[in-house]
Structure formats: structure tokens, C-alpha cells
Structure 1
Amino acid sequence: MSLAVFFAAIIGIVLGASAGYVLHNYITSKRTAGAKDLAERILDEARKEGQAQRKEYMLQAQDEILRLKKEMEKDIEADFKDQERDLKEQESDLREQKRELKQKETRNQEKEERLDKKIETVNSKESELLVLEKQLSQTERELEDRSEEIDELKVQHVQKLEEISGLTVDEARQHILDEVEAQTKHEAAKRIRQIETEAKETGDRKAREILATAVQRYAGDFVSEQTVATVALPSEDMKGRIIGREGRNIRALEAATGVDLIIDDTPETVVLSAFSPLRRQVAKLALERLISDGRIHPARIEDVVRKVEQEMDVKVREIGEQATFDAGVHGIHPELVRLLGQLQYRTSFSQNVLQHSLEVCSLCGIMAAELGLDVKKAKRAGLLHDIGKAVDHEVEGPHALIGADLAKKYGESKELVHAIAAHHEDVAPTTTLAVLVQAADSLSGARPGARKELLENYVKRLEELEEIATSFDGVDKAYAIQAGREIRIMVDSERVDDDRTYMLCRDISKKIEDNLTYPGQIRVICIRERRAVGYAK
């Protein structure tokens, strides 16, 4: 049963598949025939549409061809017109060139004609020159003959003059030169004397007015400084305590302060000796404190000296600030203010350097005001001009150059630095301010009583002054008077005339300026007198 069903099922499947295949082929053939018809219709429509578009494109192409043809014709016509216009312009240019060529030809012909005329003129002049050359050569020969005759006449004339005068040509020439030289010297001396007299009268009058005004308006104190200081002791026993066991106290004090202590037979007195007034002041204050305290031993000495040095540093700054306040100069670098305070303890020829700086500051301000210069700048330069003396014992070189370096280092102006460097002519002064500081410095140091000078140096300076004066020919005697501020010179009236006396005075003054160093100025007076001596018998 099952096999029958199975085979029946297989047969059914096979029949169904056969029937489906036949049906599929039928449907497929029907569809293929319909698709072919549709494709043929689409192709016909496409052919018709393509032919229509082709006709349309052909018409558009023909229209475009016609349009391009018209444009080309227009362009060709425009190009033809432009070429025609260019040809006309070229034709006009050619005509213009032809006209210019004709003009050039005409001018060239005219030039040729002028050249021909010039050539003819030159030829004629050459012939004339030849004639003149012949005449000149003949004239030269005649002149040579005459010059020979003149030379012979000159020789004869000179011989006659020598016979008449009794002098040779060289002697006569020298005689004339001597006379001209003497006359020239006389005229030059008179002229120089006239010019210098006028200039001196004007300059001296103005200088005296300015200096007198400056001196009259300045009033400064003067205190003489020494190189030693003394400390009073309460009793003689204190000397032993200062010396200490085996001298340890005095050695400790000298080592800490750099000052020599002199303990001698002077009752109740100790002498402090040092070149630096600042160190001497420190030692004096330290010793006074040790004496008042009573405790004197090396450790205590070092402690007291250190405290005194600190106090002195503060005091020095206060002194510098007070000096700038008194001078009316502000804005100075603090280090320069400190160095300025140290000048209180420096002296120059026994003149206090800080007091001298304030004096120069005041004089510079007064003279600057009289001359119409910058008063503040002049006072600043005067106050700082000796700042180098605060460290000149520590730095090699002149104090003026040291001070200039310090001023430059701490921001002072170039003009002020130059004024400091030039106030002793270590550098040639080139500004009015430098000359003003130099004059004020000399004026402060030269005023009576400002400085002291050793007798030996003083006498030596006077001797040198007289030796310079007597070294000139014609000087009979020379006398230095007025503490070396004036020299009177007696000249030999037989050997020196009035004009030579004036020039001799100038030469002696110049030599004194070049060879001597002195404060202020030296007045040179040359005296020439003629004495007539007779005897009544």
C-alpha cells in the first residue's frame, strides 16, 4: 500500500513538473513576443524623434554658421579699415621724415658752407701767425741783445754804488733788512701794545667786577687742621692702662684704627698721629670712650672701634647731605654724598677740603650768575670738583682725574665730568664751565689766609721766580715782592728800548706761566729808567 502510494506520489510530482514547465514555456514565449513588439515601437519612436532633433540641430547649426559668417565679415571689414588707417599714418610719417631729411640736408649744406668759410679764415690766420712769429723771433733777438746791455749797465751801476757807499751788495742788503726788521718790530710792538691795552682794559675791568662781586658775596669760615690730635687724660695712671701689659692695649688700638699713639712725658695727654683725619677722628672718639668707660683690653678696644666706625659712617653721610643742602645742590648719588662727607676730614695746605668745595661751589654760582650761565650746573661742578681727594690715597693718579672717573661712574653729565678733570689742567679745558671751576678753585685757594705754605717751598718758589726773570737778556735785576704775587724787573736802558721792554714783560710772563705752579696770579712789572748824572765843580 505504501509503495503504491509512494509511486503514485512520484508520478504526480513528475506530471506536475512537466505541466509547470510547459506552462512556463508558453508564458515566456508570450512575454517575449510582447517585448519584441514594444521594443520595435520604442525604436520607431526613437528614430522619428532622432530625425526631428537632427533636423532641428541642422537648422541651429546653419543659423550659427550664418551668424559667425556675418561676425567674421564685420571683423574683416574692421581690420581692413584699421590697416587702411595705419597705412595712412605711415604715409604721413614717411612724408614727415622726408621733410625732416630735407631740412637736415639743408642744415648740413649750411654747415659745410660755414666750415669752408672757417677753414679759409684759419688759413688766413695761419699765414698771419707765421708773419707774427717771424716778427716775434726778431723782437726776441733784439730783447736779448738789450738785456745783455742792461746786465752790463747793472753791473757798472752796482760797482759805482759800491764805490760811492763803501758797502758791498750783501752788506747793503743786510743793512736794509735790519732797518726793515727794526721798523717792523717797532710797529708790531706798538700795535700789539695798543690791542692788548684795549683788551686788557675791558677784560680786566669785567673780570675785576665779577671776581670782586664773587668774593664780596661769599663769606666762609676757615679752620686750620693738623696731622695730629690730642686726647686729654684724667690722670697719669691712665697712660699705663692705655699701654697695657707688655703694650698689648696700645698695639690693639693702633692695629684697629691705623693710627700711631704717642705717649711721652707730656702730662695727662696722648697724641694721635695719622695722615688720614678720618682714621684719626675714629681713634680719638674710640680712645675717649675707652677712657670714660674704664674697661681697656684688646677685645673691648676692637668692639669700641667697630661701633665708632659705624657711627662715623653715619656721621659722614649726614655731613655730606648737610653740605649738599647748604650748597643747594640736589640729586647727587648717595655714594658721592658719602665721599663728600669724607672731605670734612681731609685738608689741602691746611685748608679743609669740604669747606673749600663749598666755597668753590658758592663762587662758581656767583660768577655763573654774573656771566649768564647755568647757576645750578656751575654750583654742582664746584661742589664735586675735589671729590677725588676722598679716595686719592687709595687710587693711583691725580685727584682731578680720579674725581672725574667717580662722577662719570655715578651718572654725572659729560660737561661736569670734563670740568672736574680739567680744573688742574690734567685735561685741557674746552668748556666755559671747566674754566669757571678752574678760576673759582684758584680764587678760593689764593685768598689771604686760606692756605699755609712751608717756608722752604715758599723761599724756593720766590728764588725760581727771580731766576726766570733774570734769565732774559737785558734784565739787570729782579725782585719778588708781595709774598711772590708780584715781581719787579729792572731792565738795562742802554740795551732795551721802550718797545722791547713791553715785549720782554710779555715773554717773562709767558715763561712764568709755563714753568711755575702757583695759586692765583703773579703781577710782572718791567721798569726802564734813564738817569742823567752830572757833577757841579
Structure 2
Amino acid sequence: MLNTVITIIAVLIGLGAGALVGFYWKKIVNRRRLHEAHEDAELLKSEAHESKRAIIIEAKEESLRIRTATESELREQRSEIKDSERRLSKREEQLDRRNHNLEIREKTWHSKEKDLELVRNEVDEVLKKQLELLENLAGISNQEAESLLLEKASEEIQHEVTRRYRDYEERIREEAEDKAKSIIGQAIHRLASDVVSEMTIASVSLPSDDMKGRLIGREGRNIRAIEKATGVDLIIDDTPEQVTLSCFDPVRREIAKMAVSKLVADGRIHPARIEDIVSKSEKEISANIWKSGEDAVFETGVRGLHPEIVKLLGKLKYRYSYGENVLLHSIEVGNLAAMIASELGANVKTAKTGGLLHDLGKALSHEIEGGHAKIGADVAAKYKVSKAICDCIADHHDDEPRSVEGFVVAAADAISAARPGARSDTLEHYIERIEALEDVATGFEGVEKCYAIQAGREIRVLVKPDNVDDLMASELARKIANKIEETLVYPGQIKVTVIRESRSIELAQ
């Protein structure tokens, strides 16, 4: 128990001593820290004083620099202001001098104007007197002189206009010819159709002359039956082993040709057999007509035509014009018109259809009175063909078609008809056409001689040089061309060349 108390007391004494020692140690440490803090504060204070002194010095230097720069700028500005004032002063002096000079000039001009007015009046008086003197000397008045001058000027202007018109016309013609040749050449090259060589001959070959008697029959009953059934005249003459069929209707003529050929091949010739063979031939020809029309429509690529139009097209297979098959000609014109319209930017469908149907009236020209162009246009309109196409059909022989496509169809028709080998021509008709062409040219004043060359494609006119000058020659060529267009009918075009030649001859002795 006692030991325990002693131990506790000892522990308490130890704790008290430890606490006292710790207190004094902490006090010493705090004093040391305080002393160090005072030293740091003094150091910072000293540094602050140094920084303050440096900042003040720098500020004074900056202030001095700014003040120096400001004073320098002020001096420059004062100098510029003084220079501006001097310049303004000089300008004011110059303006004063200029105003003074202008006033002097104005006074001078007023004085000169008065002098000029006086001189002008004097000149007018002199001119009036001279004009009166000239009128007296010339014997004509001023108005008459003006009329003469105007007439002379008018003649010179007319001469110049004619010359320029000729130059312009030649240039335009050359350009148009080059373009037309290019388009037509391309179209013809792309078409490249065959030459037509068939002729309008309807004849049937016989195996022997004995067959002629059988065709005539007893008392002519067979030939009468054939003519009645076909509507065709059967001509039996002295031509060996051949009979001739004559009829204006080409379809009837073809039916009769087929029927007679079958009768000759069969050998059984009597009225009942003739009627049967003619009936079969009519059906066969009708089928051929329809097929030919469909083939033409298919070849040209035209769609939407009425069946009656197609049938009439097929009939053209048996129609010829100057030895040219009209159906082949129509197909060729349709293709040519499409090519030309494509090059010109026109309506290709209208031109192609108008070209294919342009001779449609020839299938009915033996049944209806009137020209084939009008007949074809009326029939096409009846079967709901568009007005533009009907106009092409009606206008393809007119000088002034109503549309671009009408011109195209007319040109394609002329090209197809005019190409070599397309049509045959008789000698009489050829001579008549050449003479008519030369008569047109010789009817003009100043023409000495004229010659139609190149099968009537060109006419060369020789004029009298004393009566026709160069400008009149150009005008004469145009008048002859217009006269040919008005009075003659011809395929293609005719070139008119006027030649003016003067010769001077002397003999050296």
C-alpha cells in the first residue's frame, strides 16, 4: 500500500517536472522564432524601400521621355501649321490673280463677240450678194440648184447601194450555198438510194402468136370479158408474142396484167374463168397494195397514219411520173426531208410525214379533179392528219410555203426529182424546155445572145457592153432568175450567169 502511494507520488512529481521543462523549452523556441520574424520583417522592409526608390526613378525617367516626345510633336505640328498657312496664303494670292485675269478675259470676249457679230452680218450680206450674182450667171435659182445636187446625190447613193447590195448578195449567196451544199450533200450521202429505171409499160409476153386468137375468143367474147372485168383496153396487134394493156388507172392496169398472165399460163380462157382469175388478181393486188403501204410507213418510221392513208400510199407503187416510181420517190423524199430538217433544227416528224405523203393525191388524181397537191392535202385532212403536215402536202409545189417544214419538203422533192437517173425525159420535152428557157432570157433589153447548158441547169447570157454596165448586169441576172421562177416549171434550180465583155482591137501596120 505504501509502496503504491510512493510510486504515485513519484509519478506525479515526474510529470510536473516534465511539464515545467516543456514549458520553458517552448518559450525559448517561441522567442527564437519571434527574433527570426523580426529579422525577416526588417529585410522585407529594406527591399521594399529599394523597390520604391527604383520605381520612382523609372517613373521620373518615363515622365521625362514622354514630355520630350510631346514637346517634339508639338514643335512638328506648329511647323506643319505654319507651312499650311503659307500654302493657303499663296493659293489665295493665285486665286485673286486668276479672278482678275478672268475678268479681263471676259471683257475681251464680250468685245470680240460684238466684233464677230458685226463681221457675221457683213459676211451674210456678201454671201447674199454672191448668191444673187451666181443665180444670175447660172440662170437657175437656189432651189433649182439644190434639186440638181439632190438628184446627183441620189444617183450616186443609188449606185453605191446597188454596188453594196450586189456585194452583200454575193456574200450571202456564197454562205447560203456552202451551208445548203453541206446539208444536201450529207442528206444525199446518207440516203444513197438506187436509180429508178422502170418505165410505164404494161405488156404481157405470150408463148406464141396462137395465144392471141385464144385471148380474142370466138367472136371476141374473151377479149370483151377481159376488158369488162378489168376496165382495161386489151390491144392485140402485129407485135410478135406480145399484147399491150392500156388504162389510165395504174392499179387496174396491174390487175389486168396479172390476170392475163395467169390466163396465158393456165391456158383455160373463157368468160367464167376470166371473171374468176380477175377476182383473185384483185384480191392479190389489194394485198400487195396494203403491204407496200405498210412497208413504206415502216421504212420511213412514220406512225399513227389512218389505214386508208396507208392503202393510198400502197397504190402509189403502181404509179410512175417521168419513169420514176412515185412510192419510191415518196419514201426518198420523206427520208431526205427528215435529214434536212434535222440539220436545220426544224420539226423532223412533220417534215418526214409531209415528205412521205406529199404525192398522196397522185393515187386519186385520175378520180378527182384538181392538182395532186390539193387533192392530197384534202384527203390527209379528211383522215385527221395534222394541219402542219397538210400544209406541207399542199405547198410542196408553191413558191412560198407556209412553214419551214414546207420549204424542207419542197427542197427534198426537188432533190429527189433532180438527181441523175431519177426521171426520164423525152427529146421533144427536153428541147421545148431549153427553148422556153432561152426565150425568157432573150426577152430582156440589152441581151445579145443566150445559151442553155448542162441540160437546162444553167443559162449563160451575153449582154451588149455598151448598153449594160457591171451593176446593171447584176440586176439583169436577178430579173432573169425571177422571170424564170414565175413562168417556167422545172426540177431543182437553174443558175443564171450574165457575161459582159468589151474588146478593143487595133492593127499594127
User: By the TM > 0.5 criterion, same fold?
Assistant: yes
Shift of 1:151: 11
SS in 2 for 1:240: helix
Aligned Cα RMSD in Å?
2.5
Q: How many pairs were matched up? A: 385
1:490 matched to 2:456? The reply is no
Which is further off, 264-273 or 199-208? Answer: 264-273
Equivalent residue in structure 1 for 2:433, among 461, 479, 484: 461
Residue 444 (structure 2) aligns with: 472
> Aligned partner of 1:408: which letter?
A
SS in 1 for 2:243: strand
Aligned equivalents of 2:148, 2:469: Cα separation in 1: 20
1:303 matched to 2:238? The reply is no
Residue 161 (structure 1) aligns with: 138
1:282 matched to 2:255? The reply is yes
1:219 matched to 2:183? The reply is no
Which is further off, 325-334 or 172-181? Answer: 172-181
Shift of 1:494: 1.7
Equivalent residue in structure 1 for 2:350, among 356, 374, 377: 377
Residue 204 (structure 2) aligns with: 231
- Pick closer, same or farther for the CA change 1:173–1:452 going to 2, 3 Å: farther
> Aligned partner of 2:205: which letter?
A
Deviations 1:320-342 (A, max 9, x none): 11111111112211110000000
> Aligned partner of 1:275: which letter?
F
- Pick closer, same or farther for the CA change 1:282–1:406 going to 2, 3 Å: same
Shift of 1:532: 1.6
> Aligned partner of 1:526: which letter?
V
Residue 291 (structure 2) aligns with: 318
Aligned equivalents of 2:432, 2:155: Cα separation in 1: 38
Equivalent residue in structure 1 for 2:162, among 168, 189, 210: 189
1:257 matched to 2:230? The reply is yes
1:204 matched to 2:204? The reply is no
1:416 matched to 2:389? The reply is yes
Contact 1:227-1:274 within 8 A present in 2 as well: no
Shift of 1:299: 2.2
Deviations 1:61-115 (A, max 9, x none): xxxxxxxxxxxxxxxxxxxxxxxxxxxxxxxxxxxxxxxxxxxxxxxxxxxxxxx
Residue 495 (structure 2) aligns with: 523
Residue 354 (structure 1) aligns with: 327
Map 1:138-149; keep pairs closer than 5 Å.
none
> Aligned partner of 2:256: which letter?
A
Which is further off, 399-408 or 220-229? Answer: 220-229
Contact 1:220-1:359 within 8 A present in 2 as well: yes
Shift of 1:198: 2.4
Deviations 1:273-314 (A, max 9, x none): 223322121111111221222221122212211221122111
Aligned equivalents of 2:128, 2:390: Cα separation in 1: 71
> Aligned partner of 2:291: which letter?
E
SS in 2 for 1:467: helix
Shift of 1:155: 7.1
Aligned equivalents of 1:498, 1:228: Cα separation in 2: 52
Contact 1:327-1:379 within 8 A present in 2 as well: yes
Equivalent residue in structure 1 for 2:423, among 427, 440, 451: 451
Residue 264 (structure 2) aligns with: 291
Residue 86 (structure 1) aligns with: none
Aligned equivalents of 1:277, 1:510: Cα separation in 2: 37
Contact 2:456-2:494 within 8 A present in 1 as well: yes
Map 1:328-339; keep pairs closer than 5 Å.
328-339=301-312
- Pick closer, same or farther for the CA change 1:382–1:189 going to 2, 3 Å: same
Shift of 1:510: 1.4
Equivalent residue in structure 1 for 2:363, among 390, 402, 410: 390
> Aligned partner of 1:242: which letter?
L
SS in 2 for 1:289: helix
Aligned equivalents of 2:454, 2:366: Cα separation in 1: 34
Shift of 1:157: 4.6
- Pick closer, same or farther for the CA change 1:285–1:335 going to 2, 3 Å: same
Contact 2:200-2:320 within 8 A present in 1 as well: no
Contact 2:457-2:493 within 8 A present in 1 as well: yes
SS in 2 for 1:228: coil
Map 1:37-76; keep pairs closer than 5 Å.
none
SS in 1 for 2:265: helix
Equivalent residue in structure 1 for 2:220, among 244, 247, 250: 247
SS in 2 for 1:389: helix
Deviations 1:409-452 (A, max 9, x none): 111111111111110118x4121111110110011111111112
Aligned equivalents of 1:377, 1:181: Cα separation in 2: 48
Contact 2:251-2:318 within 8 A present in 1 as well: yes
Contact 1:230-1:269 within 8 A present in 2 as well: yes
Shift of 1:228: 3.1
1:430 matched to 2:402? The reply is yes
Shift of 1:203: 1.2
Aligned equivalents of 1:369, 1:294: Cα separation in 2: 56
SS in 1 for 2:202: strand
Contact 2:350-2:388 within 8 A present in 1 as well: no
Residue 339 (structure 2) aligns with: 366
Deviations 1:341-363 (A, max 9, x none): 00000011111000100110110
Shift of 1:174: 7.8
Contact 2:226-2:274 within 8 A present in 1 as well: yes
Shift of 1:371: 1.6
Segments of structure 1 that go 5 or more residues without pairing to the other structure are 1-149
Equivalent residue in structure 2 for 1:510, among 455, 478, 482: 482
> Aligned partner of 1:397: which letter?
G
Shift of 1:182: 3.2
Aligned equivalents of 2:453, 2:349: Cα separation in 1: 39
Shift of 1:269: 1.6
SS in 1 for 2:462: strand
Q: Share of identical aligned residues, percent?
A: 52
Moved over 4 A (4+): 150-157, 167-178
Contact 2:289-2:315 within 8 A present in 1 as well: yes
Contact 1:470-1:478 within 8 A present in 2 as well: yes
Contact 2:214-2:269 within 8 A present in 1 as well: yes
Give the TM-score taking structure 2 as reference length: 0.71
Residue 108 (structure 2) aligns with: none
Shift of 1:169: 9.3
- Pick closer, same or farther for the CA change 1:223–1:197 going to 2, 3 Å: closer
Contact 1:231-1:270 within 8 A present in 2 as well: yes
Which is further off, 399-408 or 267-276? Answer: 267-276
Aligned equivalents of 2:391, 2:452: Cα separation in 1: 35
Which is further off, 435-444 or 493-502? Answer: 493-502
Aligned equivalents of 2:460, 2:371: Cα separation in 1: 34
SS in 2 for 1:477: strand
- Pick closer, same or farther for the CA change 1:181–1:454 going to 2, 3 Å: farther
